[in-house]
Amino acid sequence: MIAADGRVLMISGPARGLGRALAERLRGEGYRLSLGGRDAAAIGDLVGQWGSGPDVSVHRFDATDGDSARTWVADTMGEHGRIDGLINNAGLLEGFGLDDYDEAAFDAMWQINVKAPTLLTHLALPHLRAAGDGRVVNIASASGKRVKGGFSPGYAMTKHAVMALTHATRQHGWADGIRAVAVCPSFIATEMIAHVDTGEEPVIEPADLAELIRTWLALPGSASVAELIVNCRLEDAL
Ligand SMILES: NC(=O)c1ccc[n+]([C@@H]2O[C@H](COP(=O)([O-])OP(=O)(O)OC[C@H]3O[C@@H](n4cnc5c(N)ncnc54)[C@H](OP(=O)(O)O)[C@@H]3O)[C@@H](O)[C@H]2O)c1
């Protein structure tokens, strides 16, 4: 197993939802965190509640602004001196279908769900190689594995692309000890699905996913899991 102590993780979108649960769980484990998001005040409030010191840094990251990604990675190296892991968590769900296609919304999902994580992976890769056992966690979705009913086909397309990014990262980084995983949950209890009819059964709690990802991060390179599919609903083939 890989001990958390001293390892530096970058997490995008940590102010709320799954990103917040991840930040809380992984900080408790002993990782040093570099948190990147749009709402620096909200992230600052979170960090303030922890009473944190130099083991947590807060950065402006807007997935629609490539320069903010470059600055975040450079400043993380400046402040922590290393990057051991990248968690691409920030994401966007837009609900249009093929009958009511919305090109602007589709572009926004591609930018936030696919292009930004790809740029961050590119920028972090040399540092993850230098770390020797770098880790990349991409929060994809069950919508990265299948298309279900009329549920946001554009979102499913972007999340399928996240699967490809994850496997490309494994191919590029394996020889240097880098491992990557695509996390593919069904519904998670966050604001993202506040307006989605999820039915009667309970949905996944962010803290449960954070615990799963904590376990994945501790696994050695010789026990690498490429995809984590997490169900709260019975699926035909997942
Ligand atoms: N909820 C679900 O049912 C579900 C299921 C499967 C997968 N996922 C995936 O899980 C991940 C986390 O989503 P969530 O459920 O926690 O949803 P959420 O509560 O809506 O949170 C979305 C996060 O993405 C960030 N974000 C959105 N646009 C951004 C941008 N332009 N730049 C930087 N950050 C941006 C948000 O930051 P702000 O606070 O600045 O808005 C927020 O932290 C996403 O990748 C999502 O696709 C969610």
237 within a domain of the structure (yes/no): no
Domain span at residue 222 reads: 8-230
CATH of the domain at 220: 3.40.50.720
3-class secondary structure, 42: helix
1 within a domain of the structure (yes/no): no
pLDDT computed for residue 180 by the predictor? 99
198 within a domain of the structure (yes/no): yes
Our answer on whether the CB atom of 158 is closer than 6 Å to any ligand 1 atom is: no
Our answer on whether the CB atom of 123 is closer than 6 Å to any ligand 1 atom is: no
> HEC string of 107-137?
HHHHHHHHHHHHHHHHHHHHHHHHHCCCEEE
91 within a domain of the structure (yes/no): yes
238 within a domain of the structure (yes/no): no
pLDDT computed for residue 73 by the predictor? 98
Residue 53 has pLDDT above 80, yes or no: no
The rounded mean pLDDT for the chain is: 96
**173-203 burial: b if 16+ Cβ within 10 Å, else e:** beebebbbbbbbbbbbbbebeeeeeeeeeeb
pLDDT computed for residue 72 by the predictor? 98
Q: Judging by beta carbons within 10 Å of its beta carbon (0-12, 13-18, 19+), is residue 101 exposed, middle or buried? A: exposed
- Which ligand 1 atom lies nearest to the CA of residue 88? 45
Write down the pTM of the prediction: 0.98
Residue 41 has pLDDT above 70, yes or no: yes
Closest CA to 210 of 7, 15, 20, 12: 20
Stretch among 26-35, 43-52, 202-211 having the lowest mean pLDDT:
43-52
236 within a domain of the structure (yes/no): no
For the segment 167-198, what is each residue's pLDDT rounded down to a tens digit?
999 999 999 999 999 999 999 999 999 999 99
Strand (E) positions, 13-73? 32-37, 56-60
pLDDT computed for residue 40 by the predictor? 87
For the segment 61-116, what is each residue's pLDDT rounded down to a tens digit?
999 999 999 999 999 999 999 999 999 999 999 999 999 999 999 999 999 999 99
Our answer on whether the CB atom of 19 is closer than 6 Å to any ligand 1 atom is: yes
For the segment 106-136, what is each residue's pLDDT rounded down to a tens digit?
999 999 999 999 999 999 999 999 999 999 9
> Ligand 1 test: best mutation among 190, 196, 198, 213, most atoms within 8 Å of CB?
190
pLDDT computed for residue 74 by the predictor? 98
Residue 222 has pLDDT above 70, yes or no: yes
Residue 52 has pLDDT above 70, yes or no: no
For the segment 205-215, what is each residue's pLDDT rounded down to a tens digit?
999 999 999 99
83 within a domain of the structure (yes/no): yes
Does 155 qualify as catalytic in the annotation?
yes
Our answer on whether the CB atom of 139 is closer than 6 Å to any ligand 1 atom is: yes
Pairwise CA distance, residues 125 & 119, whole Å: 10
Query: Averaged over 5-21, what is the pLDDT?
Result: 96
207 within a domain of the structure (yes/no): yes
Residue 54 has pLDDT above 80, yes or no: no
- Give the chain's domain count: 1
